[in-house]
Amino acid sequence: MTPLRQRMIEDMQLRNFATTTQRSYIHYVAEFAKHFNRSPQELDLEAVRQYQLYLTHERKLSSQSINTFVSAVQFLYLTTLEMPWKAEDFPRPRVEKKLPVVLAAQEVQRFFDHVNGIEKRAVLMTCYGSGLRISEAVELPVSGVDSQRMLLRLEHAKGAKDRYTMLSPTLLSFLRAYFRILRPAGPWLFPSPWNHQNHITAGAVQRECREAWQRSGLGKHVSPHGLRHAFATHLLENGTDIRVIQALLGHSRIDTTARYTAVSPTTVGRTASPLDQLWKPAKGKRAKGKPPKR
């Protein structure tokens, strides 16, 4: 490991960056250096610009991926290398705001009917049943299951924040069955099959999720994060207050949670149009302006 990489990792650790963020930043910086076959210390803002164009036009990466690269090199140059540049020197592509495609309840059930392996099924059910991110689900410790209070406790979740989310009776029953069958050892609820001191990888669960989706024949794409979207949307459709959903998902801003109101057909369908108020019939007589029946 080079001294620069070690220093960057230490700088991220001092700021309590998530492990996944650290890995991602190191990956993007390493690929950046490899592209020019030079140390990042020898590169400048023009190199960053040229590499962004390469990622856009040749690699055809998404705006989200390119923005992650920008965040990585911005941290490297402004924090670790302490270059006299500004955040404005690292332009970012505009990210299109697309609404998530949400599974109906029957589609979620159909998907789970095709998931193989009780452990991966348990992880994916936790994503849907408690609204967890895949990284939060695979890193759930055994001690995080509070069956007395019917809660899951997440430690150092996204943003280095602890939070509680719901533990449904159905999910608890399935987790207990899973525990009796596999008897997982070590601190993790979902340990790695190769080393019980490590948890199962998100990639292993995502592969099974993709294969189960293909077996199910569903037209809508299914991913672990899509199950989290379904959790939030279905809660909203059942009348759960949006601020409760915000707390369960761990969103720091309510407008992040509010987008689920745009993808919930039930919520949209229940909303009264102002047009209906114009011709709302009065008791015993036709409302003024209402077209007469023919």
Q: How many CB atoms lie within 10 A of CB 49?
A: 13
Residues 6 or more apart whose CB falls under 8 angstroms from that of 16 comprise: 156, 160
Torsion of CA 55, 61, 64, 65, to 10 degrees: -70
Looking at the DSSP bridge assignments, the partners of residue 282 are: 285
Distance CA 237, CA 241 (A): 10
Active site residue 288: no
Looking at the DSSP bridge assignments, the partners of residue 145 are: 152
Active site residue 280: no
Residues 6 or more apart whose CB falls under 8 angstroms from that of 101 comprise: 220, 221, 226, 263
Please pick, among 25, 77, 178, 260, the residue that the annotation labels catalytic.
260
Please pick, among 25, 51, 128, 133, the residue that the annotation labels catalytic.
133
Distance CA 266, CA 172 (A): 28
Tell me if residue 155 falls in helix, strand or coil. Answer: strand
Please pick, among 5, 7, 114, 225, the residue that the annotation labels catalytic.
225
Please pick, among 120, 228, 229, 234, the residue that the annotation labels catalytic.
228
| Cα–Cα nearest to 33, from 2, 63, 56, 57 | 2
Please pick, among 7, 153, 158, 210, the residue that the annotation labels catalytic.
158
Tell me if residue 56 falls in helix, strand or coil. Answer: helix
Please pick, among 5, 92, 251, 259, the residue that the annotation labels catalytic.
251
Active site residue 120: no
Tell me if residue 280 falls in helix, strand or coil. Answer: coil
First to last CA, the chain: 84
Active site residue 234: no
Active site residue 158: yes
Active site residue 225: yes
Cα 143 from chain centroid (whole Å):
23
Catalytic residues: 133, 158, 225, 228, 251, 260
